[in-house]
Structure formats: C-alpha cells, structure tokens
Amino acid sequence: MKIPITKPVFDDADRAAVASPLDTGWVVQGPNVARFEANFATYVGAPSAIACSNCTTGLHMGLAAAGVGPGDEVLVPAFTWVASANAALYCGATPVLCDVSLDTFNVDLNDLEARLTPRTRAVVPVHLFGLPADMGRLMPWARKHGLAVVEDAACGLDARIDGQHVGTFGDYGAFSFHPRKAITTGEGGMVLTADAAKDALVRSLRDHGASKSDATRHAAKNAFLLSEFNVLGYNYRMTDMQGALGVTQLAKARWIHDRRCALAARYDRLLSGLSWLRMPVVPEGWTHGYQSYVCLFAPETPTFAALERLRAERDALMTRLEEDGIQTRQGTHAVHTLGYYRDRFGLRAEDYPNAALAENLSITLPLYPQMTDEEQDYVVEHLRARR
C-alpha cells in the first residue's frame, strides 16, 4: 500500500471553476477573487477578507501595513516555516525568535515575554499545524506593550478558540492555500483585518499601491484614467483562476474539516496505547484545524542532551515506514538552525532547545479527507510494529 502524507481534494466543480475565467477572458484578480473573499469572510466570521498570492506575501503586507520597518524587532516562534520570520526581514526589521512549547508546538509565552525589548514592534503568533496559539493570553499582553499582532494562520483554517476563528484576534491574520493546507488554490493566501482603514491599505499594498483595483476601474466611468499610487506597494494579487478554485474549495471546507477531525480522533484512539508517542492535545473549547496530525517521538522525556540519539531512533522509524510505503514528515523546521538564520544572527541549536527538539523529534502522520479506515489502520499497524 502507498500512503501519501496528504492529498488535495479536487472534483468536477473545481475543474470547471478553474476553466471558467478562460471563457470570460478576465484572468487576473477579478469577480472570482471577489467571490472567494466574500465567502471566506463569511466562513470565518470576519467583516471582509483580502486575497493575495500566498501567505508569505500576506504576512509581509500585514507587517508593512502595521508600520514595521528598519530598527524594529518582530517576535516570531523558532519552530515554524521560514516564511514567518522572513516576512519581518522583508520589512527591514529583525525577527527575534522565541522558543516553543513541546506540548503544543506553539510559542512559549514565557519565552516571548523574556525576549521583549524597547525595540519590539510586533509579534507573529503562529497557529502551527492548525492548533491555535493561546490568543486569550497573548492579545492582552501584546496590547499592554503596544505591539502589532500579525497572526500566521497559514495552517489555521477551521482553528477556533471558543468559536472565534484564528486570524480574527490580531490586527491582521494571514492564511495559506498551498496544497499542504486544508483547501488549496495551488499557491494562494488571504489576509483578514477588522479595521476598514487597514483593509483598504492592504488591498492597495497587494496591487502596487494603487488606489483602485483594475476590476473596479474597468467597471467605472472614465476607466481610461489610471489609479493614484500614494504608497509603495507590491504585486501580490491572486489570479481569477485561483479565486474561482478558492470558491469551490471553500464550499467543501466544512466536509474536509469534519473528515480531518474524525480521522484525528481515530488516530488518537488507535495510538493511545503507544507510550513513546505524544499525540496532539486540544484544550477544552478549542477547535484544532488539523492541517497536519503531528506527534512527538518521546520514548523518554526529551532533553537537548539526548537529541542526537533520539533523532537517530526517530529517523530509523521514519525510514522503515517509508519502506512500507507510508510517507511521514518532520513537523516543520527550527528556523534558527537554517543556514541563513544561523549564519546571519550567529544562532546555535541550543539557543532554542524546544524548537530544535520539535524539529528533530516530530513525526507528521498521513492525513487527508479521502483516507479510508483501511489506509489508516495500515499506518497504525506499521507504526506499532516498526518501532
């Protein structure tokens, strides 16, 4: 049997949607992007939503719109996709990494507090793998210190705290529609902000800094007059093919999330006897988006001193699973150990011990809505047998 780590869900509605802009001829950001934005805002309970080319550009625009620039520091968890930190560098600011909790893989709020300086301007909480960061504690803390909050909700579709969707707590929230995410537009992203002025600024930033979108201008009188450009913007637009796909993907999001939750609950049950594997834990009242089902390989309490030995054991297990046709992956990477960050900021693995442990001991198990019980049983059976 061959079990991939994930599989996007595409049906005939998606195929027809992608082709539909070819008939009208309007293939750049247009009516389908506008529909996707409106539907997404409704789905997550936000006043509006701004589609963009991917989550990385969404994070960049959030930080730029918050006024982050040279001389500023931005707090970012050390265990996340490199883009969360890169976005601060794109603004000319310095990303200040913070360690994470091994129980949640999300930022450790005590370490966050410890890294605050007079130069700290913003914080990027990441809802890693779809588990919300603790926004109930983080938001009052950020407000007290006057920090802008740009949520990295790349993995956060359907992640909620007491019913409130992630991405709606901070000043800005950025989502990803990369194929590893719950719904996909190939590449794609979405920014949320509840403030009308911030919304207008991000819409302008994604479109070269234009005061009006091309679609609005073309539909109006005097369409021959170009927009005004009063801010430095970027071309971070989503195409209308992607927007059309976003609409049909989002129509399946509820089902996709229900399936992911059901499969995660089944993993929880079937793996509960394995003393060497820690499964994701979801606090009462929270909803995990289950972008990924990421476990921690912990045959003993993980310590930095034992990292290399435990990592070798985990890798041997993942190699055996690969031989069985089962794809597994580490959760994500420890940004401070990536060559660029290590060399530029002189960081050592032990500076963020939990992030280093998370990179080296996490195991992502296959999870996709179409997964059958037989496929999941095969994964569980081999995970038990191959250790």
Ligand X SMILES: Cc1ncc(COP(=O)(O)O)c(C=O)c1O
Query: Looking at beta carbons only, is 36 or 81 nearer to ligand X?
Result: 81
| Cα–Cα nearest to 279, from 298, 256, 303 | 298
Query: Looking at beta carbons only, is 4 or 140 nearer to ligand X?
Result: 4
Q: Hey, what's the torsion of the CAs at 242, 245, 250, 251, to 10 degrees?
A: 160
State the DSSP code for 304.
G
Query: Looking at beta carbons only, is 96 or 310 nearer to ligand X?
Result: 96
36 close to 25: Cβ distance less than 8 angstroms: no
State the DSSP code for 96.
E
Least distance from ligand X to the Cβ atom of residue 155, Å: 5
Least distance from ligand X to the Cβ atom of residue 178, Å: 4
Query: Looking at beta carbons only, is 152 or 199 nearer to ligand X?
Result: 152
Query: Looking at beta carbons only, is 176 or 354 nearer to ligand X?
Result: 176
Least distance from ligand X to the Cβ atom of residue 229, Å: 25
* Strand-pair category, 94-98 with 286-287: unpaired
Least distance from ligand X to the Cβ atom of residue 98, Å: 14
Rounded CA-CA distance 225/150 in Å is 35
SS3 label, residue 151: strand
Least distance from ligand X to the Cβ atom of residue 347, Å: 19
Least distance from ligand X to the Cβ atom of residue 103, Å: 18
Rounded CA-CA distance 169/163 in Å is 12
At CA 93, angle to CA 128 and CA 174, rounded to 5?
35
Least distance from ligand X to the Cβ atom of residue 43, Å: 18
Least distance from ligand X to the Cβ atom of residue 189, Å: 5
Query: Looking at beta carbons only, is 157 or 383 nearer to ligand X?
Result: 157
Residues in the chain: 387
Of all helices (H) and strands (E), which one includes residue 98? strand 94-98
Phi, psi of 134 (to 5 degrees): -75, 80
Least distance from ligand X to the Cβ atom of residue 204, Å: 20
Of all helices (H) and strands (E), which one includes residue 174? strand 172-176
296 close to 358: Cβ distance less than 8 angstroms: yes
Beta bridge partners of 175: 153, 190
Amino acid identity of 68?
V
93 close to 63: Cβ distance less than 8 angstroms: yes
Query: Looking at beta carbons only, is 178 or 288 nearer to ligand X?
Result: 178
Query: Looking at beta carbons only, is 290 or 378 nearer to ligand X?
Result: 290
Q: Which residue has the tokens 């750049």?
A: 28
Query: Looking at beta carbons only, is 180 or 387 nearer to ligand X?
Result: 180
* Strand-pair category, 73-77 with 120-123: parallel
| Cα–Cα nearest to 135, from 124, 145, 121, 119 | 124
Q: Which spans of this chain sit near ligand X (rule: CB under 6 A)?
A: 54-56, 80-81, 83-84, 126, 152, 154-155, 176, 178, 189
286 close to 261: Cβ distance less than 8 angstroms: no
Query: Looking at beta carbons only, is 192 or 383 nearer to ligand X?
Result: 192
Record the tokens describing residue 144, joined without a space: 């007290």
Least distance from ligand X to the Cβ atom of residue 181, Å: 7
Beta bridge partners of 76: 97
325 close to 386: Cβ distance less than 8 angstroms: no
